[in-house]
């Protein structure tokens, strides 16, 4: 019972965690990208379409990642090339992604993908107490966790990771050290877009196995908020994403359990949860310590 | 930050912006297999070709202008609110509640109380991120973005649940509003009082920002909150005030859509007017009076998108794509103009 809850929470948290890792790395170099909502949609739509056309869900995930990265170059161009306001650029990218996927995704509504098999299918001899969990989750879940850990190791333990963090704290100091801040930020935006697209594709191809207009329903925006909660730390993104996944799972379980509450009302809970933790994290006043210094100029509008 | 709002460099490249956007739009039409010049001309005709098209443009202008103002008022304090969409939906809920509770009240009482309730609902939806920002320093952009989804879901919860009219045969909507709660259109068109409210509010806030002490207080706090606090101004209190005022305008947009266009509360009362309002607010440099003109232009774009869907079988999503492309074009041209100006000293 508990195992099935954790597995369900993990399943629901997986797309979000992948997106969060990408946005964490982007924000670490001092760039905020609200456009990951649109990049996630591009990933979900193109990934689903590719999976339907090729019949191969893994190709779908790859196509989704590529689509997210492609759209993120728009954000990179506007933010780095034209030095335009990052919040506005993100919203513009979101609009483009929402419009394009609504437009070109119409033909794939109701399409069928061949699912990614659960891990349990590959481990027929797994012990009984993990059986239930392994039959629920696919390889994307452990992949997301490994990805978050790898991002943390890379960010805190490698030379390039240090370079990225330096750019986020002070582009000027980085420049003095011979690092090219704009190039680093370009890489971080595109990597963030790639992971947002991958997260979107995991959502449509693996988790829901459907495509519908605006399928992400703000998950990318939630990810931007939860990155603050996780204090720009890829390791902390794991428990934060899991908590959000748990809030989503509880809603589904309450519905399935026949709760006499409107499903729309229940569906507000994950958003309220996300708002709650963002407010709590910021009220703690820790953000000034953990926030990349170059990001504060963009984030704090006063 | 403040300077670039009033700097003429923002207005000089408008021509460049327009030309680039037209090229981008034509490229988009080519990519979806439509004749570019023809489609573009069609759009202009559909937006302003005759009295009917023009009236439909003004129908779209009303919520866009109010949502733009819902963004502009907080922006004068430096707050980035993207919450007009949610405020629109919650305003619609509050206004509808009054109509459902007192359906037999004469129009002279029902209409104003309905509109007031709509504004209160929107104001509440703006006050929440306002107090969270003002008291707890929580980022208003994230909170408003997420509250939008909650507002939409609350409408769904009501019209699929307790407020659903059983005679609708499963269609999720309230009963039709009585005549006393209907904002009728002008001269037999669908253009309604919401547009007048928007224009009055735009002029009113434009004057307030330009000449009142309050407008100057906001400008001081936006420029430097510490200086503002030193001369006795409260950022937190102003944050709650501007967010609530902006929210009230977003709420007004919502109840006007319900009472004038839809005739009852149902899902889909907005086609992304909140985000469109943010675009308009940005394009008009957060100047309320300029926002009137820009709202008409963007209203025309959306009305033309509706007609294209009807007559040229171009899906409605193309209007969202065009808005996104317009936003990106404006950001690119505006940003580059800024850079060139800085480089030339």
Q: How many CA atoms does the CB half-sphere of A296 hold within 13 Å?
A: 11
Interchain pair B324, A99: CB under 8 A: yes
Average pLDDT, chain B: 92
Average pLDDT over every residue of A12-41:
97
pLDDT attached to residue B8: 53
Average pLDDT, chain A: 91
Domain contains B345: no
Interchain pair B153, A106: CB under 8 A: no
HEC string of chain A? Answer: CHHHHHHHHHHHHHHHHHHHHHHHHHHHCCCCCCCHHHHHHHHHHHHHHHHHHHCCHHHHHHHHHHHHHHHHHHHHHHHHHCCCCHHHHHHHHHHHHHHHHHHHCHHHCCCCCCCCCEHHHHCCCCCHHHHHHHHHCECHHHHHHHHHHHHHHHHHHCHHHHHHHHHHHCHHHHHHCCCCHHHHHHHHHHHHHHHHHHHHHHHHHHHCCCCCCCCCCCHHHHHHHHHHHCCCCHHHHHHHHHHHHHHHHHHHHHHHCCCCCCHHHHHHHHHHHHHHHHHHHHHCCCHHHHCCHHHHHHHCCC
Q: How many domains does chain B have?
A: 1
Minimal CA separation from A124 to chain B, in Å: 42
Q: How many domains does chain A have?
A: 1
Indicate the pLDDT class of residue B271, thresholds 50, 70 and 90: confident
pLDDT over 90 percentage in chain B: 77
pLDDT attached to residue B2: 47
Average pLDDT over every residue of A139-154:
97
pLDDT attached to residue A252: 84
Indicate the pLDDT class of residue A4, thresholds 50, 70 and 90: confident
pLDDT attached to residue A255: 80
| Residue B156: closest C-alpha in chain A | A264
| Residue B314: closest C-alpha in chain A | A103
Domain ranges, residue B203? 3-340
- Show the tokens assigned to A233: 């730390």
Interchain pair B317, A103: CB under 8 A: yes
Sequence-separated (6 or more) residues with CB below 8 Å from residue B292: B65, B198, B199, B202
**pLDDT higher than 60, residue B3:** no
Write the residue in A74, A93, A278 that is nearest to B139 by C-beta: A278
Average pLDDT over every residue of A86-111:
95
Which domain CATH number covers A147? 1.10.3470
pLDDT attached to residue A302: 34
Domain ranges, residue A66? 2-299
In a mutational test of the A interface, the residue from B150, B159, B227, B278 whose CB has the highest number of chain A CBs within 10 Å is B150
Span B231-256, pLDDT tens digits: 889 999 999 999 999 999 999 999 99
Span B174-206, pLDDT tens digits: 999 999 998 888 888 888 899 999 999 999 999
Average pLDDT over every residue of A99-117:
93
Task: Report yes or no on whether pTM surpasses 0.80.
Answer: yes
Indicate the pLDDT class of residue B1, thresholds 50, 70 and 90: very low
Indicate the pLDDT class of residue B11, thresholds 50, 70 and 90: low
ipTM: 0.92
Least confident of A104-118, B110-124, B251-265: A104-118
In a mutational test of the A interface, the residue from B16, B93, B141 whose CB has the highest number of chain A CBs within 10 Å is B141
Interchain pair B32, A282: CB under 8 A: no
Write the residue in B146, B222, B328 that is nearest to A222 by C-beta: B146
pLDDT attached to residue B169: 80
Number of cross-chain residue pairs from A and B with Cβ atoms under 8 Å apart: 154
Q: Are A34 and A224 in contact (CB under 8 A)?
A: yes
pLDDT attached to residue A260: 76
**pLDDT higher than 90, residue B314:** no
Which domain CATH number covers B86? 1.10.3470
Asked if B310 is an interface residue toward chain A (Cβ–Cβ < 8 A), one would say no
């Amino acid at each position: 019972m508990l195992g099935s809850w954790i597995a369900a929470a993990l399943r629901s948290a997986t797309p979000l965690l992948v997106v969060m890792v990408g946005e964490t790395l982007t924000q670490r170099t001092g760039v905020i990208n609200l456009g990951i909502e649109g990049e996630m949609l591009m990933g979900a739509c193109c990934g689903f379409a590719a999976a339907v056309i090729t019949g191969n869900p893994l190709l779908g995930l790859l196509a989704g990642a590529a689509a997210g990265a492609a759209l993120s170059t728009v954000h990179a161009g506007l933010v780095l090339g034209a030095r335009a306001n990052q919040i506005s650029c993100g919203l513009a990218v979101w609009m483009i992604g929402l419009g394009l996927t609504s437009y070109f995704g119409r033909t794939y509504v109701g399409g069928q993908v061949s699912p990614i098999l659960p891990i349990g299918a590959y481990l027929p001899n797994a012990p009984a107490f993990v059986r239930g969990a392994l039959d629920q989750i696919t390889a994307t879940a452990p992949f997301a966790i490994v990805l978050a850990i790898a991002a943390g190791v890379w960010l805190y333990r490698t030379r390039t990771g240090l370079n990225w963090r330096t750019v986020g704290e002070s582009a000027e100091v980085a420049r003095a050290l011979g690092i090219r801040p704009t190039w680093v930020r370009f890489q971080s935006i595109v990597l963030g877009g790639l992971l947002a697209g991958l997260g979107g594709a995991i959502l449509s191809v693996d988790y829901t196995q459907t495509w519908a207009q605006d399928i992400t329903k703000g998950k990318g925006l939630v990810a931007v908020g939860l990155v603050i909660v996780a204090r720009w730390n890829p390791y902390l993104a794991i428990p934060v994403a899991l908590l959000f996944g748990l809030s989503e799972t509880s809603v589904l379980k309450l519905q399935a359990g026949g709760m006499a509450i409107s499903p729309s009302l229940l569906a507000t809970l994950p958003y309220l949860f996300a708002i709650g933790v963002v407010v709590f994290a910021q009220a703690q006043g820790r953000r000034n310590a953990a926030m990349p210094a170059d990001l504060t100029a963009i984030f704090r509008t006063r | 930050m403040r300077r670039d709002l009033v700097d003429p460099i923002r207005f000089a490249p408008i021509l460049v912006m327009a030309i680039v956007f037209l090229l981008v739009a034509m490229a988009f039409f080519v990519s979806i297999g439509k004749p570019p010049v023809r489609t573009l001309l069609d759009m202009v005709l559909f937006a302003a070709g005759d009295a009917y098209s023009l009236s439909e443009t003004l129908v779209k202008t009303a919520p866009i202008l109010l949502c733009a103002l819902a963004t502009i008022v907080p922006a004068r304090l430096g707050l980035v609110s993207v919450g007009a969409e949610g405020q629109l939906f919650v305003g619609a809920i509050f206004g509808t509640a009054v109509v459902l509770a007192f359906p037999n009240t004469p129009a002279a009482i029902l209409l104003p109380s309905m509109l007031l309730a709509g504004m209160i609902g929107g104001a509440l939806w703006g006050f929440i991120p306002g107090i969270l920002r003002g008291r707890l320093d929580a980022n208003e952009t994230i909170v408003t973005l997420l509250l939008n989804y909650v507002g939409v879901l609350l409408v769904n919860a009501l019209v699929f649940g307790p407020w659903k009219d059983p005679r609708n045969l499963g269609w999720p909507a309230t009963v039709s509003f009585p005549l006393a709660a209907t904002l009728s259109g002008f001269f037999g068109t669908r253009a309604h009082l919401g547009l007048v409210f928007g224009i009055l509010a735009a002029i009113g806030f434009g004057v307030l920002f330009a000449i009142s002490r309050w407008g100057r207080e906001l400008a001081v706090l936006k420029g430097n909150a510490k200086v503002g606090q030193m001369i006795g101004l409260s950022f937190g209190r102003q944050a709650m005030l501007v967010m609530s005022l902006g929210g009230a305008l977003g709420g007004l947009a919502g109840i006007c859509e319900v009472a004038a266009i839809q005739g009852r509360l149902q899902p889909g009362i907005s086609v992304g007017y909140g985000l469109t309002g943010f675009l308009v607010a940005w394009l008009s440099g957060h100047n309320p009076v300029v926002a009137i003109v820009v709202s008409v232009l963007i209203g025309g774009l959306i009305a033309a998108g509706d007609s294209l869907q009807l007559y040229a079988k171009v899906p409605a999503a193309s209007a969202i794509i065009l808005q996104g492309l317009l936003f990106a074009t404006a950001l690119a041209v505006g940003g580059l103009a800024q850079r060139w100006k800085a480089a030339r000293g």
